[in-house]
Amino acid sequence: MKFLDLAKVYIRSGGGGAGCVSFRREKYIEFGGPDGGDGGKGGSVWVEAVEGLNTLIDFRYQQHFFAKTGQHGMGSQRTGKDGDDIVLKVPVGTEILDEDQETLIADMTEVGQRVLLAKGGNGGWGNLHFKSSTNRAPQRANPGQEGVERTIWLRLKLIADAGLLGLPNAGKSTFLAATSNARPKIADYPFTTLVPNLGVVGIDGREFVVADIPGLIEGASEGRGLGDQFLGHVERCSVLLHLVDGTAEDPVADWQTIIHELEAYSPVLAEKPRVTVLNKIDAIDPETLEERKTALEEAVGGRVHLMSGVSKKGVPEVLRALWAQIGRGKPAQDEGSEWQP
């Protein structure tokens, strides 16, 4: 299944059916009077968050969604049938944006959440409604109300507890494969990860979701490489795991590159809690490792964890550090007890 996180769709609710002009005509009834029925209500367009979806690929092949028009009213006081609604089913984490791609209409964060995007038009009144003491045979009826037509954007932001950041080949996919059942593509060349991946990670009897996104490079905010188009998938995360390749010539410069791109994309994202890790320590001699760790800690201004995704050395400590940040925003595990990291 292909991954798609942005889609443009066109929606239109159904118009209401027109009211009917009709008069009762029966044998032996001299003054039958008006009996025109009302038009049916037009169908509405809804959006619903459902389980089992993690991409918007369905909206690449169908972009137009038009609800049914209400049926016209009929004689003998018969009301027209209401038009059927249309429901757009989207993954949890989808944002509904207006045509300007800035105005947020709805944020679908829970399974079963439903939002009305375009209300169907009301049906018109039949001539029975216009009967009065002075107008016993009205010749008028209302047309149905027109439907609403609009263009919207669907933007998917994966819901994860922790997000992976780093330059290409920093070891993000290796870390995800080593700690979860996810099987992202792993190779010894840059940009092996082309789309975000999710994995469920467990430590000390607790589980949380980790999102791996394609690597950033210098100038990503200006569109270089794959750009920063996937950074939106880590905006909902409680903590960011920043992996720095310990075998690189200048790990501090690599760290600064990612921080600069985060700040250029969103100051809010740049201020999120981060766990910084010097990765691939099994390929570095102890003396060089200590020098690079010290230099990186000075740049970060805090602790730097050591880890090897291949040998899994230091992985449990990194997972515990992530959970310590995630757990701050989660409710207590047991009723009446406080969470303990």
Q: State residue 151's pLDDT score.
A: 95
Q: What domain range is 211 assigned to?
A: 162-329
Burial of 192 (0-12, 13-18, 19+ CB in 10 A): middle
97 is in an annotated binding site: no
- C-beta neighbour count of 135 within 10 angstroms: 12
Q: State residue 302's pLDDT score.
A: 86
Q: State residue 193's pLDDT score.
A: 61
100 is in an annotated binding site: no
280 is in an annotated binding site: yes
194 is in an annotated binding site: yes
181 is in an annotated binding site: no
169 is in an annotated binding site: yes
**What are the tokens at 32?**
């039958």
Q: State residue 309's pLDDT score.
A: 82
Q: State residue 96's pLDDT score.
A: 93
Q: State residue 184's pLDDT score.
A: 62
Q: State which residues of the chain have pLDDT below 50.
A: 1, 331-341
313 is in an annotated binding site: no
310 is in an annotated binding site: yes
Of 88, 123, 156, the residue at which a domain comes to its end is 156
Dist. CA 159–CA 233, nearest whole Å? 7
127 is in an annotated binding site: no
Among 285, 315, 297, residue whose Cα is nearest residue 174? 315
172 is in an annotated binding site: yes
173 is in an annotated binding site: yes
Rounded to the nearest angstrom, the gap between the alpha carbon of residue 257 and the centroid of all alpha carbons in its chain is: 27
Dist. CA 325–CA 273, nearest whole Å? 7
Dist. CA 237–CA 229, nearest whole Å? 16
152 lies in the same domain as 166: no
130 lies in the same domain as 166: no
Whether 253 is covered by a domain: the verdict is yes
C-alpha to C-alpha distances, 158 to 41, 56, 212, 317, 339, nearest whole angstrom: 36, 11, 10, 25, 25
Of 156, 172, 200, the residue at which a domain comes to its end is 156
**In contact, 95 and 157? CB cutoff 8 Å:** yes
Whether 338 is covered by a domain: the verdict is no
Q: What is the CATH number of the domain that holds 32?
A: 2.70.210.12
**In contact, 36 and 127? CB cutoff 8 Å:** yes
94 is in an annotated binding site: no
Give Rg (Cα) of the chain: 30
Of 107, 139, 156, the residue at which a domain comes to its end is 156
**What are the tokens at 222?**
């200006």
- C-beta neighbour count of 288 within 10 angstroms: 11
Among 143, 139, 142, residue whose Cα is nearest residue 33? 139
141 lies in the same domain as 75: yes
Assign 183 to helix, strand or coil.
Answer: coil
Dist. CA 36–CA 74, nearest whole Å? 6
Q: State residue 192's pLDDT score.
A: 59
Dist. CA 253–CA 244, nearest whole Å? 10
Number of domains forming the structure of the chain: 2
Whether 340 is covered by a domain: the verdict is no
170 is in an annotated binding site: yes
281 is in an annotated binding site: yes
215 is in an annotated binding site: yes
89 is in an annotated binding site: no
Whether 111 is covered by a domain: the verdict is yes
Among 236, 1, 41, 7, residue whose Cα is nearest residue 142? 41
Q: Which residue's entry shows tokens 């009446």?
A: 336
Q: State residue 182's pLDDT score.
A: 62
138 is in an annotated binding site: no
**What are the tokens at 173?**
């996919």
pLDDT tens for 114-169 read 999 999 999 999 999 898 888 888 989 999 999 999 999 998 887 788 888 888 88
Contacts of 251 (CB under 8 A, 6+ apart): 244, 245, 278, 292, 295, 296
142 lies in the same domain as 168: no
What is this structure's pTM? 0.72
Q: State residue 340's pLDDT score.
A: 38
Residue 153's Cβ-side half-sphere holds a number of Cα atoms within 13 Å equal to 13
